[in-house]
Amino acid sequence: MATPTVVLVPVWGIGHFVPMLEVGKRLLARSARALTITVLVMPEPDATRASEITEHIRQEQATGLAIRFHHLPLVAPPTDTSGIEEYVSRYVQLYSPHVKAAVAGLTCPVAGVVVDIFCTTLFDAAHELGVPAYVYLIASAAMCALLLRSPALHEEVAGDVEFEDVEGGGVDVPGLPPVPASCLPTGLENRKITTYRWFLYNGRRYMEAGGIVLNTVAEAEPRVLAAIADGRCTRGVPAPPVYSIGPVIPFTPPAAAGEQARHECVRWLDSQPPGSVVFLCFGGKGCFTAPQAHEIAHGLDRSGRRFLWVLRGLPEPGTKMPADGNLAELLPAGFLERTKDRGLVWPTKAPQKEILAHAAVGGFVTHGGWNSILESLWHGVPMVPWPLGAEQHYNAFTLVADMGVAVAMGVERKRSNFVAAAELERAVKALMGDGETVRKVRDKVTEMKAACRKAVEEGGSSNVSLQRLCDALVKGAVHPRK
């Protein structure tokens, strides 16, 4: 029998593409039987980000691993969507004929078609070809639980009532404390717009999957994973098998020895005392207006703490990604001079993983994207979440209320996620101080650092789950129907 292939279908964003690719590499390394990986590449609409993906593909092709990249033709995106969940779901749906043709054209057995978080519209192509379909979430088990729970949640609340208007104000997600409606992902904020329906659509179709693959660690979210397994998120109906295989974190091989190879931010950290620096970084899309940047600057100034702050500016006209920060425009007069002995403001991209790994970093103010959360847990760095969109408010809630690995900060969601200087000052002092709350957070983060590393070792929870996934994929491999 020919070697079966696992077909990966990530969405175009670099934060989805790279973790999905990493899953493929782990499957190759772990499977007892030979496998290959076929990656269907949807063109990235943004030219800058497209070049990043092209470079990743070039690097992977140079490794000689059994990974093949199949580039799908560009499809014009929908222009009338009401949110990211609808945009991704409908845009990916337009690729369905191309995905079906690519999979049908394979001459080897297909072990599974693995789609991204809001890409269940592609299940139709897999079903028509008679091949197994899986979904991979670069998100938490808590997010998976909410997606699975959302169709029933919709039925339990009258259609003309927003979740924030429900008596008691808490949303029931099994395995979690009551979730404030203000912390729900953007897709559930407004029940009157179509993106809400697409959130439910994807949650409903997860039940068709041959398996749900999660980038999480069983020890980090045990109660939520138990609730999914027990059918409490799906009204007693068994959910598909869940494979917790995280943390899936791609690490760049160490640069050649020599001071010149070390990033300037890392070299600056070398001169700081252990655990003394608070690191502020907000993901690939995080950027601030001058008024908000001024609030951050005043808060950091008054906190008296050492800091490394990645400050990006708003996108240039006609672009979607943040521009390099113009510090003269974004910062208050005299701030850089006053804080030059204890702070560094970096106006462009920074090597987040290397910074979090540095002994000088003692806290992380983060947008709360799941990749960043896992990197922080892997390196044992406590967090203050500052959510900016998507599911980040929900992540912030679970980090504080369920996992206990973060210090809460007041973020005014209805004011474009505004944080006042005094609130940032309070949160930074709490994070970097020695109060009882942060001592408990540090203890929990230290526990999670050990759990993350043990999970991916031989016999660890994620390692065993990855083996189960490999076995299921190999067992289910079939030739696509023609």
**Residue 407 pLDDT level (bands cut at 50, 70, 90):** very high
* Average pLDDT value over all residues in the chain: 94
pLDDT of 255 strictly over 60 = no
Please report, for residues 81, 103, 257, the alpha-carbon distance to residue 139 in angstroms, rounded to integers and kept in the order given. 23, 26, 35
Residue 251 belongs to some domain of the structure: no
| Rounded Cα distance, 143 and 404, in Å | 17
Q: What is the DSSP letter of 420?
A: -
Residue 452 belongs to some domain of the structure: no
Q: Same domain for 380 and 325?
A: yes
Burial 187-213 (b: 16+ CB within 10 A, else e): bbbebeebbbbbbbbbbbbbeebbbbb
Q: Same domain for 10 and 145?
A: yes
Residue range 129-159, pLDDT digits in tens:
999 999 999 999 999 999 999 999 999 998 7
Tell me the three state secondary structure of residue 6. strand
Prior bond of 315 cis (ω within 30°): no
pLDDT of 430 strictly over 60 = yes
Q: What percent of the chain has pLDDT over 90?
A: 87
Residue 122 belongs to some domain of the structure: yes
Residue type, 260: Q
pLDDT of 78 strictly over 50 = yes
Residue type, 430: A
pLDDT value at residue 252? 65
Q: What percent of the chain has pLDDT over 70?
A: 97
Residue 254 belongs to some domain of the structure: no
pLDDT value at residue 245? 98
Tokens standing for 336?
């850089």
Q: Which residues have C-beta within 8 Å of that of residue 28, sequence separation ≥ 6?
A: 35, 36, 37, 65, 66, 67
Q: Same domain for 329 and 240?
A: no
User: What are the catalytic residues?
Assistant: 16, 116
Q: Same domain for 217 and 264?
A: no
Residue type, 235: R
Burial 40-49 (b: 16+ CB within 10 A, else e): bbbebeeeeb
Residue 453 belongs to some domain of the structure: no
pLDDT value at residue 246? 96
Tokens standing for 58?
């070039």
Q: Same domain for 176 and 265?
A: no
Total domain count, the chain: 2
Residue 22 belongs to some domain of the structure: yes
Q: Which residues have C-beta within 8 Å of that of residue 155, sequence separation ≥ 6?
A: none
Q: Which of 400, 417, 433 is the last residue of a domain?
A: 433
- Give yes or no for a contact between 99 and 480, defined as CB atoms under 8 angstroms apart: no
pLDDT of 93 strictly over 60 = yes
Q: Same domain for 157 and 42?
A: yes
pLDDT value at residue 23? 96
CATH of the domain at 164: 3.40.50.2000
Residue 390 belongs to some domain of the structure: yes
**Residue 188 pLDDT level (bands cut at 50, 70, 90):** very high
Residue 106 belongs to some domain of the structure: yes
Strand partners, 6: 37, 112
pLDDT value at residue 47? 67
Q: Which of 399, 418, 433 is the last residue of a domain?
A: 433
pLDDT of 3 strictly over 60 = yes
Q: What is the DSSP letter of 337?
A: H
Q: Same domain for 22 and 49?
A: yes
Q: Same domain for 61 and 208?
A: yes
Q: Which of 446, 447, 466 has its CA nearest to residue 456?
A: 466
Q: Same domain for 287 and 202?
A: no
pLDDT of 482 strictly over 60 = yes
pLDDT of 214 strictly over 70 = yes
pLDDT of 257 strictly over 50 = no
Q: Same domain for 421 and 462?
A: no
State which residues form the domain around 298. 259-433
Q: Same domain for 332 and 466?
A: no
Q: Same domain for 337 and 393?
A: yes
Residue range 221-252, pLDDT digits in tens:
999 999 999 999 999 999 999 999 999 998 76
pLDDT value at residue 44? 81
Burial class (CB in 10 A: 0-12, 13-18, 19+), 341: exposed
